[in-house]
Amino acid sequence: MTGTADGTPDHIEARFNYLAYSGEKPVHYTYEPPQGVPWSNAKHESHQIRVHNLRPAAQENLIDTAGFELLHHESSVKDFWDEDEIKRIYYLEVVALLKKATGATRVEIFDHTLRRRVPGVDENSSARTEPRQPATRVHVDQTATSGWSRLQYMLPDEAGELTKHRFAIVNVWRPIKGPILDAPLAVCDARSVTPDDLIASDLLYHDRRGEIYGVTYNPKHRWFYAPAMSRDEVLLLKCFDSQDDGTVARFAPHTAFTDPTTPPDAAPRESIELRTYLFFGPQAAD
């Protein structure tokens, strides 16, 4: 293993959990399922993966080619566990950041998730409790179907007009405390993913049915991570793009993983992710 100019390794080897697809559509509950029904019927298999250091390419504009991008961004938020600060300060910061980084004319944030890893708690176990745990299965947060339907659910009165032009879903992932050494986030180059690798999976809520992609193993997948991400860095993740002409990345799989180089006394990961719609048409301007 060789290193980069900043002293971090140019790659590491780690185990990733891919979907072991049986032909049955995977189903995941977001709430306590009926008695005798599992939280999920999906099975997963572990694969050894080479994970490349993203930092040497951090100055490149990758969001529409690879489907992810690492950016420096300082926030005025003092306490990311304060919901009022998140919505009052951070939401506005992220809107401005995404407009500048992507050229979007309008940005709508539709939710956020705070995560703190609690050792010994499985994200898919029946003992789910707050805070949310890092997601350790390879996935994409939206599908070609749910990227459209989620907008209909969120902005029913505007969706018809907004979908006349390109729109996308981008997650903004950030460490709350840094540097992140425990359970870092890995992202897969969208150009190395084929449509057959993506398996639509139901996500059941009390009031609606969403859809995400589980991802099956493909040795051609190219994975990246940013070692020791700081609180002043964000990772953009493309989860959907309505432009389907082969010119832009549409879906970038991602997962938390166990870094074998993590020190045993590393602080458990704390992070926040915002899920956003980006609109590019002139009629969508704020």
User: pLDDT tens digits for 8-30?
Assistant: 789 999 999 999 999 999 999 98
Residue 248's φ and ψ, nearest 5 degrees, are -135, 155
Could you give the CA distance from residue 195 to residue 190 in angstroms, rounded to a whole number? 10
Question: What pLDDT, in 10s, does the model give residues 138-157?
Answer: 999 999 999 999 999 999 99
Backbone angles phi, psi at 30, to 5 degrees: -100, 0
pLDDT single digits (tens) 220-269: 999 999 999 999 999 999 999 999 999 999 999 999 999 999 999 999 99
pTM > 0.85: yes or no: yes
The CATH fold of domain 17-284: Jelly Rolls (2.60.120)
185, 256 Cβ separation under 8 angstroms: yes
> In which element (H, E) is residue 96 found?
helix 91-102
Residue ranges covered by each domain of the chain: 17-284
DSSP category for residue 86: I
E strand or H helix at 108, and its extent?
strand 106-116
